[in-house]
Amino acid sequence: MSANLRPICIPCTKETNGALRLSDSEGTCRKHEELLMSNELVDASFTSKMASETDVPRKIRNIKIKRGKYRDACVEDAKKAEGVNVTNARDVVTDNFLCSGGNEPQTDHVACKGESGGATYINKKDRLIQVGVVSWGVKDICTNKNTDPVSQAATRDYHTNLFSVDIRSFLKDHLGKDQIGNPLTFF
């Protein structure tokens, strides 16, 4: 590790308290979510595998996580995904997912097929804090590696939400007992 190379932070951990400059008494999962996800449009990024021959192997893709009044339309577009046949989009896009994409109020980048599992993160106080995991999308529009894929009106991506109680429980069970390095301290 160095000033230029640090691990990504996982929310709801004592380690991320330090990155957010919070004391042990201030640091709660709720406080982390409040600091990172308080707006209806949250600036976030993911790292794409798509790159042209002249680019570095990866590109940073910027997105807006849709919350509040923007979330409903984003979730509703899940019904347009191939293989999704539901009346209520919330049956497939539960609170375990964050939503991005589309072109309102601005056009987002989109994830390409094969990028699932990558980190969705926020840059806060010069630290990268992971808030999600790229999971699935409505439509794969990445057909040419030399293009810069941006969302169409109904092209949405869904990211596993690390603030979800179910996901936090999974992370705590697996990363809190890590035998490879130092286990994270969850609260």
pLDDT one-digit tens code per residue, 155-176: 999 999 999 999 999 988 888 8
pLDDT band, residue 179 (cuts 50/70/90): low
Residue-level pLDDT at 161: 97
Residue-level pLDDT at 49: 72
* Model confidence at 37: pLDDT above 50: yes
For 14-175, which CATH class?
mainly beta
Cα(150)–Cα(79) distance, integer angstroms: 20
Q: What is the pLDDT of residues 76-85, one digit of tens each?
A: 999 999 889 9
Question: What average pLDDT does the segment 133-162 reach?
Answer: 84
Beta strands in the chain (DSSP E): 41-48, 59-66, 97-101, 119-124, 127-137, 156-161
Residue-level pLDDT at 128: 94
Average pLDDT, the chain: 87
Question: What average pLDDT does the segment 130-135 reach?
Answer: 96
Question: What average pLDDT does the segment 122-137 reach?
Answer: 94
**Nearest CA-CA partner of 158 in 59, 87, 90:** 90
